[in-house]
Structure 1
């Protein structure tokens, strides 16, 4: 299909290549890359901090009157609230981003996320104000998710639209490095916090990571205020002003005659790809922390150290996955990552039962490298290329966040409930395989999009 052919085969330079040809354009590219990296770092600091806190201390701080298993379940239930808010934010901010531009939205979302995350660190405990404590936690978690619903997709769109087609997979994977940086920062700070006495951790130590996250939010906000709009969006706006209504109607005619499934195929493809990545990611990175600490009674530092090590490896794994997608194509690389996750699940949860610190840490590291790092490095460029320019932000954000609710947002909650009911690991492993399998099957219906012209109006089908 001609709209999927690499733009490098064309004599006409893309909007991104034209801007990068000037010194000023290269400076704008660096500034945009830095702002996207910091913004995504902020988002994943939020979620990694909350995931670690939910697994390590929130049960004791906000749900002290419940059993260990039910307290863990309640902690991850509040974790899921953020995912419920994300698609609402995706719809609200995504439509705004397609109309007013990527930059306008990204400045707003980073401010919302930063404020809500910082305020979590100031919530009094259940022992101090009773039920108001978990209620305030839920409210701030909702606001956090509302902003995050457009943050990841917006940063991905901005960086993808800034990148030259030939290296879009590699450059867009910087979004994954941002998420990895957030996880690294969160786990590093938590390692320091866990050096305190357990009583100090539960009373005030857990607050430190949330309060310090304000530093990243402020830096990202200041940089984003001075970032220029993406070259792809600027070109689309110029072309829209120059075209008359007849030309516009002619462009939209094929889509209007197509079936509902044909018009929205890219949306459903993104939904399936997201489920295959996000569910296993949050099981490998979020649920497993609480599982090995609260259920298997492995030392807290083992899981936290494993997350830290995996985050360090991510600075190699993520760009390598993006480079592979530039070299061999988005679809085949994504398919292989999903397949490897399906093979990983059963032996991983089986060997966690050994409670051996080295084995437990290795399982967490491998799981994160496959689900939270590698596959995410491919998804960035793939998602941007799946959608047409006029609805890219809104469609991609909604597909990602709905996929997040159906997988990552409920993964820890479902896994906790499965263990509470069956008292064994194998239903969790099967659940893991099923979600990775959805991503694997989706790749057989997904188009190859490597190097696609991002100013194309139609979605890739």
Structure 2
């Protein structure tokens, strides 16, 4: 452990910026795929088909993330957290900048969308290794009694990215149409180079995780991927279930709800403002829930968040249908700040602590990204299909969220308590739940 008390904050700031870049790159692509890419990269297709094609390139990134999680997880467990994070950051940032420089269909023809897909695959591959590594290097560098608190802050990167994207595109949309489709849409992608440069500079000055440094002095696992699936498959299954109550409400409220609101004649600016407010409040809620988890354990906080998500699913749609901003915001606060944020704040520490030191990066990153396809990436598609034409079958969507919450509640109940686990151990951790959680 570094003796400098400021060092854990430095590691945390670096990982926060890295995850902000990660989510910024992924979310800015989604925004462009909905508005810009159909005309720039798929002009020969009809409006609906072009939009589907653009969203298809968005989905490709999710398919590449598990591969990245396993590849970079193995690399991080064998070569170190710091050098691996420098690679993921560089690949992720450069691929995003290249998307911003990519000529459109009018210049390259069919090669333009093919190159777009290729860059999206590279982007998703790098993102798959960024989350796990950045969380783990913070966890393994933080004071033992505050691991949850420190590792929660990088996980607010999605909300800080949402704030940045809202501001950038608010300006981009003010441009004349000719400027918007020629160079204006490229600005958000090129701006990621600023975050990339600052974060890369910060990471160069970081030390290797003290846990990894200690682990290399012992006999290390020759193949972390094989060992993780052979010996830690229960933890991987637990992560799959634990992700539903976190990923479902996030993508439901930030993606599906925007399209569903149009069927209710609600202006998208109302929901965008609500998302902006809860994104700011997320910093407070993450800090509070993470600090609580360091005192009473990860499982109670995780269970609380999952129960809130399940109970608030139906009321959220009732509040949304009122069309009143104050009530809509209340729904967002209940589901995201009170439910989702309780889970999201604890998730980095909880997932990483499930695995021994020599397989921690592989298990946490690979498990989370494998689960992201089912628990997150398919949410907008499934919710749209369940809602049906005109969104009249919204109770099915709410039921979908409740089912996901139940899966998470069961998984959290079966999971072991981890907040006092020794991170240096390379032994297989117990998987039986701790019925009673003692307080510090």
On whether the aligned pair clears a TM of 0.5, the verdict is: yes
The match for 1:383 among 351, 357, 361 is: 351
The residue that corresponds to 2:286 in the other structure is: 318
The Cα RMSD (Å) is: 3.0
The match for 1:459 among 425, 429, 438 is: 429
1:41–1:182: 8 Å Cα contact kept in structure 2? yes
The residue that corresponds to 2:249 in the other structure is: 280
- Tell me, in whole angstroms, the C-alpha distance in 2 between the residues paired with 1:365 and 1:61: 36
Give CA-to-partner distance per residue, 1:104-143, whole Å, 9 cap, x none.
1100000111111122223444566555444333222211
The match for 1:164 among 124, 129, 143 is: 143
- What is the correspondence of 1:113-132 to structure 2 with a 5 Å cutoff? 113-125=92-104, 131-132=110-111
- What is the correspondence of 1:333-344 to structure 2 with a 5 Å cutoff? 333-344=301-312
The alignment covers a number of residue pairs equal to 426
TM-score (norm 2): 0.87
The match for 1:155 among 119, 134, 149 is: 134
- What is the correspondence of 1:62-81 to structure 2 with a 5 Å cutoff? 62=41, 65-67=45-47, 73-81=52-60
Give CA-to-partner distance per residue, 1:72-104, whole Å, 9 cap, x none.
554433222111001111111111100000011
Aligned with 2:421: secondary structure? coil
Aligned with 1:394: secondary structure? helix
Q: CA deviation at 1:55?
A: 4.3
The residue that corresponds to 1:348 in the other structure is: 316
The match for 1:138 among 111, 117, 120 is: 117
Q: CA deviation at 1:426?
A: 3.1
- Tell me, in whole angstroms, the C-alpha distance in 1 between the residues paired with 2:340 and 2:182: 31
Q: CA deviation at 1:401?
A: 0.4
Aligned with 1:154: secondary structure? helix
1:73–1:416: 8 Å Cα contact kept in structure 2? no
The residue that corresponds to 1:432 in the other structure is: 401
2:315–2:331: 8 Å Cα contact kept in structure 1? no
1:292–1:298: 8 Å Cα contact kept in structure 2? yes
The match for 1:49 among 25, 28, 33 is: 28
Note if 1:392 corresponds to 2:351.
no
Structure 1's unaligned 5+ residue stretches are 1-15, 242-247, 249-255
- What is the correspondence of 1:255-334 to structure 2 with a 5 Å cutoff? 263-292=232-261, 295-296=263-264, 298-334=266-302
Aligned with 1:90: secondary structure? helix
- Tell me, in whole angstroms, the C-alpha distance in 2 between the residues paired with 1:141 and 1:261: 31
The residue that corresponds to 2:418 in the other structure is: 449
The residue that corresponds to 1:93 in the other structure is: 72
- What is the correspondence of 1:349-428 to structure 2 with a 5 Å cutoff? 349-370=317-338, 373-419=341-387, 423-424=391-392, 425-428=394-397
TM-score (norm 1): 0.83
The match for 2:17 among 38, 51, 55 is: 38
Aligned with 1:276: secondary structure? helix
Q: CA deviation at 1:54?
A: 3.7
2:19–2:158: 8 Å Cα contact kept in structure 1? yes
2:244–2:407: 8 Å Cα contact kept in structure 1? yes
State which drifts further: 186-195 or 140-149: 186-195
- Tell me, in whole angstroms, the C-alpha distance in 1 between the residues paired with 2:389 and 2:54: 17
Give CA-to-partner distance per residue, 1:166-191, whole Å, 9 cap, x none.
11111111122333222222222223
- Tell me, in whole angstroms, the C-alpha distance in 2 between the residues paired with 1:202 and 1:417: 31
TM-aligned CA distance change 1:370 to 1:404, over 3 Å: farther
- Tell me, in whole angstroms, the C-alpha distance in 1 between the residues paired with 2:256 and 2:11: 33
- Tell me, in whole angstroms, the C-alpha distance in 1 between the residues paired with 2:46 and 2:318: 28
Aligned with 1:454: secondary structure? coil
